């Protein structure tokens, strides 16, 4: 297998150099050192230049210039299965509202709206909060093509609502939130940041500030050990304690409970970069051209939600969740429709539920308030006890 990264074209390199100058200026203005969390924030979201803030293709096949595919890009069955949980959450909240945060190409929104309408549970409004201007435009195009008659129900927000009732969705959202890079050393906890070494970005450690030491207090890592702290994702989950009046958040992502996340064997952390379907570990390679991600510490998300007054309604693997939501029936219906569509559905389903693909690595967590009925997605195989 060829593991070399494809050479970016000249236009992409020029954008990356402009972002690099922006990063270098800020590093110099801060005295020569920048937190990795800030580097990741700019590399992903710097307006016009960051990975999501700029114009790169992101989703889809590498032949189309894409860097990765997500579950809704693989098959509409993902949104159809999810709809079977979203509908009951809206009903339990007595609020026919969906808020999708980080809606990517708009594929999931289109599939969900189609499935919810077919089941008689069309949301009164489908809100989308998306930081990327380029993706907002793509979302509008996707929805205008797939569900033109429902487009007037879709509203793009600039920030999270003060109060919300209904169902909040985030698929592969939390892994895109900036992480603090930290290292346990013999002389204490360090924060791994970014400096300039002969004009190139390079890792550099300094003693960790108190808020990082506090956040790492429960982590049983032994020096030498490097990993990440997902404080931004946990803070985002905690913020829903004030905002969620009634309903639930469904957050789907790759990640682990804390005891597995910080397992001694995972001593280099979980930071990964994605470029043209190659995964690499150098966040300083052409900044802004690769997606930068880290696994989600689901224990931290559950603690943040619980600490903010939300109920932790369920936690399980993506495979269990989708099967509980009736993915098998959806595939069977495709087989009845035609052999070809059945075969396509079976092969896509394998990617979603196989333990070697997304089935085990991806998890689903639900945080909620005022939802009395159990969620069907966690009916079998709930793993709350592992958090
Ligand atoms: C890996 S993509 C997943 C997209 C989509 N949910 C899917 O499954 O195809 C991450 C998405 O989250 C968005 N995003 C990242 N951080 C965000 C934040 N703090 N608020 C809103 N959107 C965010 C990105 O712009 C992008 O749309």
Distance in Å, CA 332 to ligand 1 centroid: 31
CA 13 to chain centre: 26
Contact 221, 184 (CB under 8 A): yes
Residue pLDDT, tens place only, 321-336: 999 999 999 999 999 9
Tell me which of 306 and 6 has the higher pLDDT. Answer: 306
Distance in Å, CA 151 to ligand 1 centroid: 20
| Position in ligand 1 atom list of the atom nearest CA 236 | 19
- Does ligand 1 come within 6 angstroms of the Cβ of 129? yes
Whole-number pLDDT of residue 68? 74
Q: Is the pLDDT of residue 383 over 50?
A: yes
Bond from prior residue into 81 cis (ω within 30 degrees of 0): no
- Does ligand 1 come within 6 angstroms of the Cβ of 52? yes
Q: Is the pLDDT of residue 124 over 80?
A: yes
- Does ligand 1 come within 6 angstroms of the Cβ of 171? yes
- Does ligand 1 come within 6 angstroms of the Cβ of 104? yes
Residue pLDDT, tens place only, 58-101: 776 666 667 778 999 999 999 999 999 999 999 999 999 999 99
Whole-number pLDDT of residue 1? 42
- Does ligand 1 come within 6 angstroms of the Cβ of 5? no
- Does ligand 1 come within 6 angstroms of the Cβ of 172? yes
Distance in Å, CA 131 to ligand 1 centroid: 8
Work out the average pLDDT over 28-36: 97
Distance in Å, CA 32 to ligand 1 centroid: 30
Whole-number pLDDT of residue 62? 63
- Does ligand 1 come within 6 angstroms of the Cβ of 293? no
Residue of 131, 137, 236, 243 with the most ligand 1 atoms within 8 Å of its CB, for mutation: 131
Q: Residues 286-299, buried b or exposed e (16+ Cβ, 10 A)?
A: bbbbbbbbbbbbbb
Q: Which of 97, 102, 86, 74 is nearest to 170 (CA)?
A: 102
Distance in Å, CA 341 to ligand 1 centroid: 30
The residue whose C-alpha atom lies closest to atom 19 belonging to ligand 1 is 177
Residues in the chain: 387
Distance in Å, CA 338 to ligand 1 centroid: 34
| Position in ligand 1 atom list of the atom nearest CA 132 | 25
Whole-number pLDDT of residue 86? 98
Residue pLDDT, tens place only, 203-257: 999 999 999 999 999 898 999 999 999 999 999 999 999 999 999 999 999 999 9
Dig out the tokens for 379 from the structure: 């009916």
Q: Which CATH number fits domain 11-366: 3.10.20.740, 3.40.50.720, 3.40.50.970, 3.40.50.12710?
A: 3.40.50.12710
Band (3; pLDDT cuts 50, 70, 90):
low
Distance in Å, CA 175 to ligand 1 centroid: 9
Residue of 44, 176, 273, 290 with the most ligand 1 atoms within 8 Å of its CB, for mutation: 176
Contact 374, 312 (CB under 8 A): no
Distance in Å, CA 292 to ligand 1 centroid: 12
Type and span of the H or E element at 337: helix 327-337
- Beta-sheet strands, E only, within the chain: 34-35, 58-59, 66-68, 97-101, 125-129, 154-157, 164-171, 180-185, 188-197, 200-207, 225-229, 244-256, 272-275, 278-280, 291-293, 296-297, 311-317, 362-369
Q: Is the pLDDT of residue 338 over 50?
A: yes
Work out the average pLDDT over 339-350: 92
Dig out the tokens for 3 from the structure: 């593991």
Residue pLDDT, tens place only, 282-321: 999 999 999 999 999 999 999 999 999 999 999 999 999 9
Per cent of the chain over pLDDT 70 is 96
- Does ligand 1 come within 6 angstroms of the Cβ of 237? no
């Amino acid at each position: 297998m060829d593991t070399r990264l494809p050479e970016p074209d000249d236009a992409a390199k020029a954008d990356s150099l402009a972002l690099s100058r922006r990063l270098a200026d800020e590093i110099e203005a801060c005295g020569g050192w920048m937190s990795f969390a800030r580097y990741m924030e700019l590399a992903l979201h710097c307006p016009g230049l960051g990975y999501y803030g700029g114009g790169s293709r992101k989703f889809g096949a590498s032949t189309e210039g894409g860097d990765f595919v997500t579950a809704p890009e693989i098959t509409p069955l993902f949104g159809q299965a999810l709809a079977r949980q979203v509908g009951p959450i809206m009903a339990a909240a007595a609020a026919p509202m969906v808020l999708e945060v980080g809606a990517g190409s708009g594929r999931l929104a289109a599939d969900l709206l189609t499935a919810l309408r077919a089941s008689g549970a069309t949301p009164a409004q489908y809100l989308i909060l998306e930081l990327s201007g380029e993706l907002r435009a793509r979302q509008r195009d996707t929805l205008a093509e797939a569900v033109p008659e429902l487009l007037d129900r879709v509203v793009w927000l600039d920030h999270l609502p003060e109060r919300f009732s209904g169902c909040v969705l985030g698929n592969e959202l939390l892994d895109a939130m900036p992480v603090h890079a930290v290292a346990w050393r013999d002389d204490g906890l360090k924060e791994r940041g970014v400096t300039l070494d002969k004009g190139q970005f390079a890792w550099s450690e300094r003693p960790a500030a108190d808020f990082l030491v506090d956040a790492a207090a429960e982590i049983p890592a032994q020096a030498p050990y490097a990993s990440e702290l997902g404080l931004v994702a946990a803070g985002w989950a905690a913020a829903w304690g004030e905002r969620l009046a009634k309903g639930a958040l469904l957050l789907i992502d790759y990640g682990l409970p804390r005891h597995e996340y910080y397992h001694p064997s995972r001593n280099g952390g979980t930071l990964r970069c994605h470029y043209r379907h190659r995964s690499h570990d150098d966040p300083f390679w052409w900044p802004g051209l690769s997606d930068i991600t880290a696994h989600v510490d689901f224990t931290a998300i559950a603690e943040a939600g619980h600490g903010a007054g939300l109920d932790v309604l369920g936690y399980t693997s993506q495979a269990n969740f989708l099967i509980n939501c009736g993915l098998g029936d959806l595939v069977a219906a495709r087989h009845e429709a035609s052999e070809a569509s059945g075969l396509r559905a079976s092969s896509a389903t394998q990617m979603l539920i196989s333990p070697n693909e997304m089935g085990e690595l991806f998890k689903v967590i639900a945080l909620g308030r005022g939802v009395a009925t159990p969620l069907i997605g966690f009916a079998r195989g709930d793993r709350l006890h592992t958090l």
